[in-house]
Structure 1
Amino acid sequence: MAKILFIFNFKTLKNATILLLGGISMSCADMSWIRVLPTDLDPTKAVIPIGLYTRPITNKSAMGAKDHELEIYEWIHLTSDKRFVKKYLSKEKREGKQFIKQKLGHGFYEKNGSWILLGTEILKSKDCEIPSTISIPYQFKSDPCLEIPFREMEFNHKLLYHYDSKDLSIAHLQYESGYEEANFGIAWEVKKAYLEDVLFKKIRAKYAKKEFQPHVYYYGRLD
């Protein structure tokens, strides 16, 4: 009898495990929509203006550390030929030095309604280390790593953004900074892909107001 119960429980546990794993897989598969445009909209009604979009500047210091400071600048420039340049610059001060990182993404974009998909094809990057006594112009108006060439590589990356005509901003559906992503953001809290309901607007507003690296870029802003 004990043997029969063991077999039954094992089969039950096995089935439950399969269901659990299936649920996880389905959840992951559902997130694939943040890499493609919706197909049931009219692309001729795309209202997203071309030009420069700027992410609010991030300044952060390690808790209790007087000699640590991190500044991050990010821009997206949409051009009229459906191309874009995505720029990431960071400056970290620590241990009496400044560590500079730069990334430039080049690719194409597609628009449909209030959605825009950025597809990166080429990624250029470089980094350098300079003394903390050297002053770097505001927003890297000149390149502190000018003597170091960019490393260039083919890069296949796509991410969906949502445009809000009220504040002229685009917000990515999942956290991303310098082409490094994390599994949280707008898409992780909405009920249905591409549904711009009241809940979606509340979630978008929440991530746009995050104190550290808000998930939004504003049209033409350079602050």
Structure 2
Amino acid sequence: MQILRRFFLPFFCFSLVACFPPAWIRELPAQKQSLPDAVLSGTFRKNIPGMSPLTSLGYIENHSEFIEFSDVEKTFRKTYNREIEEGNKFRQMRVEGKGRFKTKGNWVLLMTESLIIEESVWEKGKKPETSGAKTSRSNHRLLYHYDPNSLSLIPMLYETGYKEKPFGVVEGIRVPYSEDEAFRIARKNFAKKEYQTHAYYKIR
């Protein structure tokens, strides 16, 4: 029995890690929803605070992230900008994704089809050196939840600039696509985070 425990426990832990994130956060629910499908249009912004180490007097880092929706064409554009100022050196990065979206109830699936990545570096008083805009195809899919009361949109998994991390609202969901009390608490907690902000709010 002790041998079985030694074998089963590591296997069980590995299975949990291997299955996260769950596959359902890449799809819309198949079942009919009680609420009408969300209508998304305009621009949503993620409120990302500036990042400057307390020990540094000359390092400033700013981020911004927006999602623009076209309800007529069912398309979106997601733009991430990062700017770093360190002394007299500057660095700017832009990641832009374009694709289509679908809704079912309050659930929104963003399906990115192309990515544009561009980076520039320069010193104060000098001309920027740019890598040029590099375009590539993408099959990134991620499920979001829309709250019509707060006009906010939040992904099930933390993601910024198309880089995901293994945590997010999905950790509070026991049943896929459930909008129960556990989900509402998880959504509220992750929407309030100041560091590694999750939620986007409509600005226009």
TM-score by length of 2: 0.88
- Confirm or deny that 1:169 pairs with 2:152: yes
- Are the equivalent residues in 1 in contact too, given 2:121–2:129 (CA < 8 A)? no
Matched with 1:130 is: 122
Range that drifts further, 55-64 or 38-47? 38-47
Aligned to 2:68: 77
- Which residue is equivalent to 1:47? 38
Greater alpha carbon shift after TM alignment, 68-77 vs 12-21: 12-21
Alignment CA distance shift 1:47-1:146 (3 Å): farther
Query: 1:89 maps to what in 2?
Result: 81
Structure 1 or 2, whichever has the larger Rg, is 1
Partner residue, 1:36: 27
Task: Letter of the 2:158 partner, please give it.
Answer: Y
Amino acid at match of 1:193: P
Tell me what 1:64 maps to: 55
Distance 1:204 1:9 in 2: 40
Q: Give the alignment's Cα RMSD to 1 decimal.
A: 2.5
Can you give the 5+ residue segments of structure 1 that lack an aligned partner in the other structure? 1-7, 135-143
User: In the alignment, residue 65 of structure 2 is paired with which amino acid?
Assistant: E
**Residue 194 of structure 1 corresponds to which residue in structure 2?**
177
**What secondary structure does 1:90 align onto?**
strand
Cα distance in structure 1, aligned partners of 2:169 and 2:97? 23
Structure 2 unaligned spans of 5+: none
User: For residues 14 and 124 of structure 1, do their structure 2 counterparts lie closer, same or farther at Cα, with a shift above 3 Å needed?
Assistant: same
Q: Given that residues 56 and 213 in structure 1 are in contact (C-alpha distance below 8 angstroms), is that contact kept between their aligned partners in structure 2? A: no
If each structure's helix is expressed as a fraction of its own residues, which one has the higher value? Answer: 1
Cα distance between partner residues in 2 of 1:94 and 1:131 = 10
Give the 3-state SS of the residue equivalent to 1:204 in structure 2. helix
Q: 1:14, CA displacement in angstroms?
A: 3.7
1:152 is aligned to 135
CA shift in 2, pair 1:9/1:147, >3 Å: closer
Instruction: State the number of aligned residues.
Output: 203
Cα distance, 1:23 vs structure 2 = 4.5
SS in 2 for 1:100: strand
The one-letter amino acid of 1:116's match is V
Q: Whole-Å Cα distance in 2 between the matches of residues 61 and 132 of structure 1?
A: 19
Deviations 1:25-64 (A, max 9, x none): 4x43x61111111111259921233121111132111231
Matched-pair contact (CA < 8 Å) for 2:38–2:107 = no
Question: In 1, Cα distance between the equivalents of 2:59 and 2:15?
Answer: 45
The verdict on how the C-alpha distance between 1:24 and 1:208 changes in structure 2, with shifts beyond 3 A counting, is closer
TM-score normalized with structure 1 length: 0.81
